[in-house]
Chain A
């Protein structure tokens, strides 16, 4: 029997004593070989940092597999794939993880390595969803079926992280100048 879904409501301002976990921001334990930091800031339409957001990540493992029974290739056990980090007073977040591998896409295509992100915050009545792509995957990015849906190269660029000394930087601009591309999911 079909049932209508429950509506979303904002996470509000007062979740940081409730939702973060001690190891939430570490998809892999510190010291894991090949671990990278994904870092960024969340800013609003005035360019001001958003200090009360929650960033969540979901991604494949380095082989492009998911620890999930709905991966028809079989669940690849052992990689949590999920990260959760509240923003700090400067709007900053950081997730320690490993770089995902390419993932099969629609119609036999291959998706470039990517990380799905959700952002929750006071003032966001529903999460906003975006994707992080990697700057050192230009060839794979060029044929990625999701990036291909975004016509404007400047818009596509909002989804490609920048390389840093210990990983990648991915700033999330909720509104305004160089607004991040967000997805209807």
Chain B
């Protein structure tokens, strides 16, 4: 490709904006830590320039051979219910997000993180760090092997418990597509009481954070499978200007 220099106007296709429909409001007072951390002033709209439609393309170089299997990172196997978590990373137009880094982290089966500051009096597991990485394949598929994390208490309010969850970090192919989220397990009785999950106001959007049990990918006599598809933002159909509501 030729160097068009800095003066030639460039056509940049931005990414569709959420306009607050899907993501949780930054100030969600039921989740107490938001009260002093959420910006108080309205956000300024950032046009999607070259800086925003590009992003780090992190892939194979960031992932070790056993990073996708959280049950094989130590001398022995971790305690707990072995599970397979898999799915596709897609964009908002249904296209695959291929060759893209997926990072996960979670508590162990007893609900304790291998983190210095986690004070929950549940046992650490010497065979479980709870940190994994993988790269999506050409069809955007990923697959990790882990143990089902436990629920754990936190100090947000009296008798507060987080539903079992796995943290996911995704890059997509653009700064605008960066996403950190949490995957939950179907049917958890703690859903109704969790201010983090319920910070997502739209019930249909909340439901997209809950994985589905997947008998087809379950490996007989070895591990249950859960499916969790992740959808990153899709692209505008026209360059830059189109920042209107679409629906």
Residues of A at the B interface (CB closer than 8 Å) are 1-19, 21, 44-46, 48, 50, 52, 56, 58-60, 64, 66-68, 70-74, 80-82, 102-108, 110-111, 114, 116, 118, 120-129, 131, 145-146, 149-150, 174-176, 179-185
* Stretch touching chain A among B4-12, B71-79, B185-193, B212-220: B4-12
- Shortest C-beta distance, B112 to chain A (Å), equals 10
Question: Given A103-B49, A125-B34, A184-B43 in contact, is the A3-B180 Cβ separation under 8 Å?
Answer: no
B175 contacts across to A, CB distance below 8 A = 58, 116, 118, 185
A89 smallest CB distance to B (angstroms): 11
Interface of A is mostly: loop
Q: Is B54 touching A70 in the complex (CB atoms < 8 A)?
A: yes
Q: Is the CB of B129 within 8 A of A80?
A: no
Are A13 and B117 interface neighbours, CB within 8 A? yes
Q: Does the CB pair A71–B54 fall under 8 Å?
A: yes
Cβ contact within 8 Å between B117 and A14: yes
Residue of A nearest to B34 (CB): A123
Find out whether the CB atom of A185 lies under 8 angstroms from the CB atom of B52. Answer: yes
CB contact list, B1-29 vs A, under 8 A? 1-12, 17-18, 22-26, 28
CA of A42 to CA of B106 in the docked complex: distance in angstroms?
A: 25
Contact A125 B41 (CB under 8 A): no
Chain B hits for A72, CB < 8 A: 1, 4, 10-12
Kindly count the residue-residue contacts between A and B in the assembled complex, taking CB atoms under 8 Å apart. 256
Contact among B53, B107, B115, B206 with A70 in the assembled complex (CB-CB below 8 Å):
B53
With the chains together, A82 CA to B178 CA distance in Å? 12
The answer to whether residues A118 and B178 also contact, given A45-B36, A183-B44, A184-B43 and a CB cut-off of 8 A, is: yes
Closest 3 CB pairs of A and B: A123-B33, A18-B105, A82-B56
Chain A residues, Cβ within 8 Å of B44: 149-150, 181-184
CA distance A15 to B232 in the complex (A): 21
Question: Which of B39, B56, B179, B208 interacts with A80 by CB under 8 Å?
Answer: B56
Say yes or no: A2-B234 contact (C-beta < 8 A), given A7-B200, A16-B115, A104-B49. Answer: yes
The answer to whether B1 and A175 touch across the interface, beta carbons within 8 angstroms, is no
Q: Which residues on the B side are within 8 Å of A107 (C-beta)?
A: 9
CA distance A67 to B4 in the complex (A): 16
CB-CB < 8 A to B41: which residues of A?
A: 179, 181-182
The residue of chain B having its C-beta at the shortest distance from the C-beta of A56 within the complex is B178
With most chain B CB atoms within 10 A of its CB, the pick from A4, A108, A111 is A4
Instruction: Name the distance in Å between A71's Cβ and chain B's nearest Cβ.
Output: 6
